[in-house]
Amino acid sequence: MPKAGSLTLRVEDMTCGHCAGTIKNAVESSLPGTQVDADPASKLVSIRGTADLAAVKAVVAEAGYTPSEAA
């Protein structure tokens, strides 16, 4: 169970470090105060500083990726 103010997404089409950087920059610039760890090997994106899943998914989708909730 994620703690308040954090969430994790699975992004299957994040395949490399460039993808991870694009997602990190998109979320951190669109949602000030967030910190993002994007790991292309596990396909997981961890976001601290917000629990607004809809907003984060919208930003990731706008950056050109397909986010889903991590199992």
Could you give phi then psi for residue 28, rounded to 5 degrees? -65, -35
Strand partners, 68: 10
Side chain identity at 23, as an amino acid letter?
A: I
Helix (H) or strand (E) holding 35: strand 35-39
Residue 3's pLDDT is 46
Contact, 26 vs 59, CB < 8 A?
yes
pTM of the model: 0.91
Contact, 59 vs 27, CB < 8 A?
yes
Domains in the chain with CATH codes: 6-69 (3.30.70.100)
Residue 70's pLDDT is 85
What tens digit of pLDDT does each residue of 1-60 get? 444 589 999 999 999 999 999 999 999 999 999 999 999 999 999 999 998 999 999 999
Side chain identity at 45, as an amino acid letter?
A: V
